[in-house]
A = this chain, B = another copy of it.
Amino acid sequence: MIQEFIETRAFSELLCEPLQTEDFVIQPVEFVSPTKWHLAHTSWFFEVFILTKHKNDYQLYDKNFPFLFNSYYESKGERVMRANRGNMSRPTVDDIFQYRTHVTQAMKELLETLEDEKLLDLVHIGIHHEKQHQELLLMDIKYCFGHNPLFPVYNENFDEKSTEDSEQKWVSIEEGLYKIGHDTHEFSYDNESGAHKVFLENFEISNRLVTNGEFLEFIENGGYKDPLLWHADAWDWIQDEKIEHPLYWQKTKKGWKEYHLNGLKRLNPNHVLSHISYYEAFAFAQWKGYRLPTESEWEVAQEQFSWGKRWEWTESAYLPYPNYKKAPGALGEYNGKFMVNQKVLRGGSALTSSKHTRKTYRNFFHPHMRWQQSGLRLAK
């Protein structure tokens, strides 16, 4: 456990190695957070949920930090408005690395003597919380660099797992009662617990993800121009935002390009499609004459295909499982309060930290969001 804690803390810092000081600061849109904010917030989590409560002689590193680095925990008091995270040049990046060291050190001391089962659960949540922010950090850096006119390279060797080799086949599942949800002793979030039965009808699901080339066909066939393929809310969105292609694509005089963490490249039609919204995933499926799987279908079928390259949009709304109970207090804000207006994604992505996803993991985003590395698998 100490090992896992230390490795996780170190990995966050490793992800920052390719960055310049300036890169830690900016917040080009409200849903993106500055890198230095991620580094501080993940430390804040350990500080306010564990250290200040359970380590006897613990001293707050800085009395302003709880205010500066709370994300959305209403029960943890006032906080800087999300949109202002990128307006603060102070504390500096150095200040925040020192804060991290302070927290890591104090946690190590605490963990060396820790036996309280409940507290260990909390540490596990803290570790997985930080892994989640590692993916967000990469998503956010990609957004910052992918919207900079210079298209800087984050890391030339970063592998976005773009190939999809398997030949397209349909996996068939028979109708029946299936058990869904997490029921082992491994770590999981509260939103995936509460294993329960669902009845599924016969269905088929693709063994592979949709590619850039397939989506290009959709574009070239006027997919973004035909209102009958889109939800009403989606149609408003593509009109208002002038959406005409996936997030990191751009049409240049020399053809289509796509920005990756290793730079701006010619679009490869054989690569896996990335960075689409639910609205676009749905419209594409409509156009193909298929549909998106539900999250239950995905979970039941997942052993029969490989996954983990892209978060995969499902048709399922993000709702509580039967018998879901919010944790009491601030941790109850972790998942439950987002269970409306969002769609479930299953799988994982090239940006996901190791051991952070599993077959029962429920990721979720509002249906127009696409800065996460999302893709699409068809069902029928």
Contacts and interface: CB of A to CB of B under 8 A. Distances in A.
Contacts of A64: 149-150
Interface string A288-316: 00000000000000000000000000011
Contact of A26 (B20, B25, B367): B25
Contacts of A337: 230-232, 235
Interface stretch (A85-93, A251-259, A263-271): A85-93
B89 A144 contact: yes
A177 B26 CA distance: 53
A312 B223 CA distance: 37
A149 B68 CA distance: 8
A91 to B, nearest CB: 7
A234 interface: yes
A291 to B, nearest CB: 8
A144 B20 contact: no
B88 A234 contact: no
Interface residues of A, number: 66
Interface stretch (A39-47, A53-61, A98-106, A317-325): A317-325
Given A26-B87, A315-B320, A149 B80 contact: yes
Interface string A210-248: 000000000000000001101111110000000000000
B340 A89 contact: no
A233 B367 CA distance: 14
Nearest to A226: B74
A21 B323 CA distance: 51
B232 A338 contact: yes
Nearest to A320: B315
Given A25-B26, A199-B198, A339 B228 contact: no
A25 B89 contact: yes
Interface string A19-36: 011111111100000001
A173 B309 CA distance: 42
A67 interface: yes
Contacts of A148: 87-90
Contacts of A341: 233, 341, 367
A24 B22 contact: yes
Given A87-B144, A89-B144, A340-B367, A74 B228 contact: yes
Contact of A74 (B21, B91, B227, B282): B227
